[in-house]
């Protein structure tokens, strides 16, 4: 059961990008890290530490900022802290969790490795780099502690896992689609140009891409509520809106699935109408 790994790097508009990929039995997952103005945004996974280390060492880094606690974004944090002596900053919600050995399913350990504990500092509503002030934007939905970072000087927006792909087909059990919609609406109120996503990479016409995702989710929410009001069950709604079955649902033993999208929409709808 050997993983196949790959690494690429490029530079776009002054942002140094490292992209690591992990493949196993036909499933390929990728994650990006970004460096700009002495700031490293996210750390990649432990399973890709060997590939990311040379990239980190060639950068001129002052600090590390984390979009959220998931292991594909924090897997190399311990290396960066212990060997490169870099301070790490993230939302305070998951600080204690990151100090301990993490608890997540075996399939995620297979792909992303076993993250080592690290100690991060809490972020405020802004932070400073060498030449810029950054806005720290709380954007929950995918994760409770999720943040996006906006460089006021360059207008570059780093969205973590807020985007990932335009048309969401599966979600984690704990994700909330209505909350993600609220987070998309929030970031769209900011003045930004380039958009960088930790899984999709650089988004051409980033504002348009984020707006398309929001529009897709708004339409999906409307369809779901209409079918729910017509008396359909979650599974019946899933079968109608997401007839294709995705391997990640079986591979993750149901932690990822289309039903979580439907359930999160119905759950919020019930709250709003009670």
Name the E strands within the chain.
4-12, 15-24, 27-36, 39-41, 63-65, 88-90, 121-122, 126-128, 133-138, 147-151, 157-158, 171-172, 195-197, 201-203, 256-257
Q: Which whole number is the average pLDDT over 62-89? A: 98
Q: What is the pLDDT of residue 251?
A: 84
Q: Which whole number is the average pLDDT over 171-178? A: 96
Q: What is the count of structural domains for the chain?
A: 1
Residue 1 predicted with pLDDT over 70 = no
Question: In percent, how much of the chain has pLDDT > 90?
Answer: 91
Neighbours of 250 (CB within 10 A): 11
Is residue 24 very low, low, confident or very high in pLDDT (cuts 50, 70, 90)? confident
Q: What is the pLDDT of residue 211?
A: 98
Residue 104 predicted with pLDDT over 60 = yes
| CA–CA distance, 157 with 136 (Å, rounded to integer) | 10
Q: What is the pLDDT of residue 213?
A: 98
Q: What is the pLDDT of residue 28?
A: 86
Q: What's the CA dihedral at 176, 178, 184, 190 to 10 degrees?
A: -120
Name the E strands within 155-220.
157-158, 171-172, 195-197, 201-203
DSSP 187: H
Q: Which whole number is the average pLDDT over 213-219? A: 98
For residue 43, the domain's CATH number is 3.60.15.10
Q: What is the pLDDT of residue 181?
A: 98
Residue 2 predicted with pLDDT over 80 = no
Closest CA to 190 of 131, 125, 128: 125
- Give the tens place of pLDDT for each residue, 137-164: 999 999 999 999 999 999 999 999 999 9
pTM: 0.96
Q: Residue 119 sits in which domain range? A: 4-273
């Amino acid at each position: 059961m050997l993983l196949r790994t790959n690494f690429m790097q490029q530079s776009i508009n002054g942002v140094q990008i490292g992209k690591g990929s992990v493949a196993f039995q036909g499933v390929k997952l990728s994650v990006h890290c970004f460096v700009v103005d002495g700031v490293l945004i996210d750390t990649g996974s432990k399973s890709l530490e060997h590939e990311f280390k040379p990239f980190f060492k060639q950068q001129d880094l002052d600090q590390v900022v984390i979009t959220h606690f998931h292991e594909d974004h924090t897997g190399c944090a311990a290396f960066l802290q212990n060997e490169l002596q870099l301070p790490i900053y993230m939302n305070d919600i998951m600080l204690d969790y990151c100090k301990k050995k993490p608890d997540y399913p075996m399939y995620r350990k297979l792909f992303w490795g076993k993250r080592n504990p690290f100690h991060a500092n809490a972020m405020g509503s802004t932070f400073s780099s060498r030449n810029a002030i950054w806005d720290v934007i709380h954007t929950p939905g995918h994760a409770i502690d999720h943040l996006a970072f906006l460089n006021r000087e360059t207008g570059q927006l780093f969205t973590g896992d807020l985007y990932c792909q335009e048309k969401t087909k599966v979600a984690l059990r704990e994700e909330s689609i209505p909350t993600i919609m609220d987070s998309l609406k929030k970031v769209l109120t900011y003045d930004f140009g380039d958009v960088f996503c930790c899984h999709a990479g650089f988004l051409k016409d980033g504002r348009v891409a984020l707006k398309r995702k929001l529009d897709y989710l708004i339409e999906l929410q409307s369809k779901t509520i209409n079918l729910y009001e017509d008396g359909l069950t979650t599974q019946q709604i899933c079968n109608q809106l997401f007839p294709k079955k995705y391997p990640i649902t079986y591979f993750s033993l149901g932690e990822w699935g289309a039903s979580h999208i439907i359930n999160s929409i119905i759950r919020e709808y019930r709250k709003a109408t009670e």
